[in-house]
Structure 1
Amino acid sequence: MKHTIFVVGYLVVMGGLIVTLDVLFLREHFWWRLGTNIGIVVVFAVAYLLWLKKVFT
């Protein structure tokens, strides 16, 4: 149960970061926005797979 709550919170933080950057800085730049969003998702995925997943196993 703790793992599920953590993952949901992690995804909410990632989504909030993506939306905030899109709205504040990258509204008019489609390709920069797309690249930034993909980069954020990759960084969050790597952080989860390398470090945070070990906490719950």
Structure 2
Amino acid sequence: MTGNLFRVLFIVVMIAVIVSVDILYLRHHFATRLIVNIGIVAVFVSVYFIFFKKS
């Protein structure tokens, strides 16, 4: 149960970071916004697999 809660919370934090960066910094730069969003998702996925994925 707590594992599912943690995954949902992790995804919500990732979405909040992406939306806040989009709104605050990259509102009018489509290509840059796309690249930065892919980078943010890649960082979150790598952190998840390095620190939180059960073997």
TM range (shorter): over 0.9
- Superposed CA RMSD in Å reads 1.0
Q: TM-score, normalised by structure 1?
A: 0.91
Q: How many residues align?
A: 55
Q: Within 2, Cα distance between the matches of 1:9 and 1:51? A: 15
Which residue of structure 2 aligns with residue 48 of structure 1?
48
Unaligned runs of 5+ in 2: none
Unaligned runs of 5+ in 1: none
Which residue of structure 2 aligns with residue 32 of structure 1?
32
Name the structure, 1 or 2, with higher relative contact order (CA <8 Å, separation 6+): 1
Q: Within 1, Cα distance between the matches of 2:52 and 2:33? A: 26
Among all aligned residue pairs of Structure 1 and Structure 2, give the percentage whose two residues are the same amino acid: 47
Question: How far 1:51 sits from its partner (Å)?
Answer: 1.0
